Amino acid sequence: KKRILSLVLCAAMLLSMCLFLGAGVTNSLTVCDSSGEAVKRVDLPVNQKISLMAQAQSAAENDAYQWQIRAAKNVWANILGSDTQTLELSYPMVASALSEKNTVQIRCRLTSAETGEATFSDAVTVEVTAATAVDAPASADAAAAPVLRSPAKVAAAANDAPETRTIEIKYEFANGTQAAPSWTATVAKGSNYSATITSPAVVGYEPKPSDNSITIDETNIQDNITRIVYYYPALVDFTVKYYQQNVNDDKYSLFETKTKQGYTEKPVSEYETGENGFAANYDGFTRLLYDDTATIAADGSTVVELYYDRNYYLMNFDLDSGYGVEPIYARYGATINVGNPTKPGYTFKEWTPAMPDTMPVNGGTYTAVWTVGNAKYVVQYWQENANDDNARIIKYAAMSIDVLSKFKVQLQRKK
pLDDT per position as a tens digit, 187-220: 999 999 999 999 999 999 999 866 688 899 999 9
End-to-end CA distance of the chain: 154
Under the banding of pLDDT at 50, 70 and 90, the label for residue 138 is very low
Give 1's strand partners: none
Is cis: bond before 181, omega within 30 of 0?
no
Contact at 8 Å (CB) between 285 and 244?
Answer: yes
CA distance 90 to 94: 7
Determine the Cα–Cα distance for residues 94 and 70; give it in Å rounded to an integer: 10
pLDDT tens digit sequence for 42-90 = 999 988 889 999 988 888 888 999 999 998 877 888 888 889 999 998 8
pTM: 0.52
Give the span between the Cα atoms of 46 and 27, in whole angstroms.
Answer: 30
Per-residue confidence band for 301, with pLDDT thresholds at 50, 70 and 90: very high
Residue 82 DSSP class = -
Residue 85 and residue 111 in contact, taking contact as beta carbons nearer than 8 Å: no
Pairing of strands 303-310, 235-245: parallel
Mean pLDDT value across residues 175-185: 93
Using DSSP, state whether 373 is helix, strand or coil: coil
Stretch 401-410: mean pLDDT, rounded?
A: 44
